[in-house]
C-alpha cells in the first residue's frame, strides 16, 4: 500500500477512486464518501483517504461526474468572425462569466461557412455541451442555428435571428450614434456629416437614422449629400472626406462608422489643411484602441462594450441551463470614450 508512483496506478493508468481506496485500505464507497465529505466516517479514515488521493495525484473524473449530474459544465461558442476583432472581446467576456461558474468553453470558428457551422454544432452536441452561444460579426439578420435537441439552450450574441423564441443580445447601435452626435453638438458643431460603411449593414441604417433624429431634435438637418456610405476601410475614409469637403467646405463635425474610416478622415483633413478638432471635430466607432489611441489627434470614439455583452450572454445562458426561459432582442448600451479629436471645454480627454 502507498507505494504506487504518484499520478499513475501500478499499470500506468491515471489513478482511479479504486486505486485510492486500495492504497488507503478502505472500500471504494468509503473512499468516495471521504473525498466528497459525505457520510459518517472516522476523522482518521477520512484523513488517510485524502492523503492517499493527494499522494497519488488522484483527479476526480469530470466525465463520470458529468454523467451522474446530467450536465457537462461545458458551453460551445460558435463564431463566424474571421478577424477576431469583434469576437475576441466577446469571447473573453463569456469566459470570465463562465469561469466563475467553473464552466469551460469550446471555441469554434466557422469562418461564416454554414456547412462548417452545422458540423461544428453536431460535434458540440455530441460532447453534450450544456448550451450554445452563437456570435456574429455584424448585427444583420442570420438564419437560426438548427439545433436538433430543443433542450440545449442557445443565446445569440452580437447576432440576430428572426425567430421570436430566440434570445439575441446586441449593442444598441442607435444609442451609440446618439452619444456621438450629442458629443459633436456639445462641442458646438452644427454642420455635421456621416462617413460610414456599406448600406447592406443594418447598423449603417440604424446609426444614420439615430443621428438624423438627434439633429432634428436640435432643429438641424442631415442632408443626403453629407452622408457617405462606402466600405469599412481607411482608404474610403480618406477618399470620402475629399468628396465631402468639395460638396460642403463648411462641415465642422464628422461622425465616422468605424475607427478605420476615422483614421482616413483624420489624414485627409490634415492634408486639406483642416485642424482637428478646431476646424472639424471627429468621432469614430468601435474604440479599437490600437487605432484610436494613436491617431493624430487621439480619437474620440464609441465603444460597444462587447466584453460586457459577452458576460451578459453567458449569464443568460446559465439561467437558461438552469431552466429559465428567455426570448427576444435585448439591446445593450454603448459608451463614448472621449479623446482629443472632439474637444469639448472641460472634457476629461484621454490621451
Q: What residue ranges bind a copy of itself (CB under 8 A)?
A: 7-8, 12, 14, 57, 59-64, 66-67, 72, 74, 77, 82-84, 88, 91-92, 95, 99, 102, 104-109, 120, 123-128, 148-151, 233-235, 260, 263-264, 267, 290-291, 294, 296
Among positive and negative, which fits the CA dihedral 188, 192, 197, 198? positive
Cβ proximity to a copy of itself: between 197 and 253 the closer is: 197
Cβ proximity to a copy of itself: between 41 and 88 the closer is: 88
* Residue written as grid cell 461622425: 255
* Residue written as grid cell 463614448: 336
Cβ proximity to a copy of itself: between 86 and 208 the closer is: 86
3-state secondary structure of 19: helix
Least distance (Å) between residue 185 CB and a copy of itself: 30
Cis previous bond, 297, omega within 30? yes
Cβ proximity to a copy of itself: between 123 and 140 the closer is: 123
Least distance (Å) between residue 306 CB and a copy of itself: 12
Least distance (Å) between residue 158 CB and a copy of itself: 15
Least distance (Å) between residue 220 CB and a copy of itself: 32
Least distance (Å) between residue 132 CB and a copy of itself: 13
Show the CA angle centred on residue 191, arms to residues 188 and 196, nearest 5°: 110
Query: 90 Cβ partners below 8 Å, 6+ apart?
Result: 79, 135, 157, 158, 306, 307, 309, 310, 313
Contact 316, 167 (CB under 8 A): yes
Least distance (Å) between residue 111 CB and a copy of itself: 8
Cβ proximity to a copy of itself: between 70 and 219 the closer is: 70
Cβ proximity to a copy of itself: between 80 and 253 the closer is: 80
Distances (CA, A) of 239 to 186, 236, 295: 27, 5, 18
Least distance (Å) between residue 125 CB and a copy of itself: 6
Cβ proximity to a copy of itself: between 208 and 288 the closer is: 288
Write a three-state SS string for 267-279.
HHHHHCCCCCCCC
Closest among 276, 272, 221 to 254, alpha carbons compared:
276
Least distance (Å) between residue 58 CB and a copy of itself: 10
3-state secondary structure of 240: helix
Query: 170 Cβ partners below 8 Å, 6+ apart?
Result: 139, 158, 159, 160, 309, 329, 330, 331, 332
Cβ proximity to a copy of itself: between 105 and 215 the closer is: 105
Amino acid at each position: 500500500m502507498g507505494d504506487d508512483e504518484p499520478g499513475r496506478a501500478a499499470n500506468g493508468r491515471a489513478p482511479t477512486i479504486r486505486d485510492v481506496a486500495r492504497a488507503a485500505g478502505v472500500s471504494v464507497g468509503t473512499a468516495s464518501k471521504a473525498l466528497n465529505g459525505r457520510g459518517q466516517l472516522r476523522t482518521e479514515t477520512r484523513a488517510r483517504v485524502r492523503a492517499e488521493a493527494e499522494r497519488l495525484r488522484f483527479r476526480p473524473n469530470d466525465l463520470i461526474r458529468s454523467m451522474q449530474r446530467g450536465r457537462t459544465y461545458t458551453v460551445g461558442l460558435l463564431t463566424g468572425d474571421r478577424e477576431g476583432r469583434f469576437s475576441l472581446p466577446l469571447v473573453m467576456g463569456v469566459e470570465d462569466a463562465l469561469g466563475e461558474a467553473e464552466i469551460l468553453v469550446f471555441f469554434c470558428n466557422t469562418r461564416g461557412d454554414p456547412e462548417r457551422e452545422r458540423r461544428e454544432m453536431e460535434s458540440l452536441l455530441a460532447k453534450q455541451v450544456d448550451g450554445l452561444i452563437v456570435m456574429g460579426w455584424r448585427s444583420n439578420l442570420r438564419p437560426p442555428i438548427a439545433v436538433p435537441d430543443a433542450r440545449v439552450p442557445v443565446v445569440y450574441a452580437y447576432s440576430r435571428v428572426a425567430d421570436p423564441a430566440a434570445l439575441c443580445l446586441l449593442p444598441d447601435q442607435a444609442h451609440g450614434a446618439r452619444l456621438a452626435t450629442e458629443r459633436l453638438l456639445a462641442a458646438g458643431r452644427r454642420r455635421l456629416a456621416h462617413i460610414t460603411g456599406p448600406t447592406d449593414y443594418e447598423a449603417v441604417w440604424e446609426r444614420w437614422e439615430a443621428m438624423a433624429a438627434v439633429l432634428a431634435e436640435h432643429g438641424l438637418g442631415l442632408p443626403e449629400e453629407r452622408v457617405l456610405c462606402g466600405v469599412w476601410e481607411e482608404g474610403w475614409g480618406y477618399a470620402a472626406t475629399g468628396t465631402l469637403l468639395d460638396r460642403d467646405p463648411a462641415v465642422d463635425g464628422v461622425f465616422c462608422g468605424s475607427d478605420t474610416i476615422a483614421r482616413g478622415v483624420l489624414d485627409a483633413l490634415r492634408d486639406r489643411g483642416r485642424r482637428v478638432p478646431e476646424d472639424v471635430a471627429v468621432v469614430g466607432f468601435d474604440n479599437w484602441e490600437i487605432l484610436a489611441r494613436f491617431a493624430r489627434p487621439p480619437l474620440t470614439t464609441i465603444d460597444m462594450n462587447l466584453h460586457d455583452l459577452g458576460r451578459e450572454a453567458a449569464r443568460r445562458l446559465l439561467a437558461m441551463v438552469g431552466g429559465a426561459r428567455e426570448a427576444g432582442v435585448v439591446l445593450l448600451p454603448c459608451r463614448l470614450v472621449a479623446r482629443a479629436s472632439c474637444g469639448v471645454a472641460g472634457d476629461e480627454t484621454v490621451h
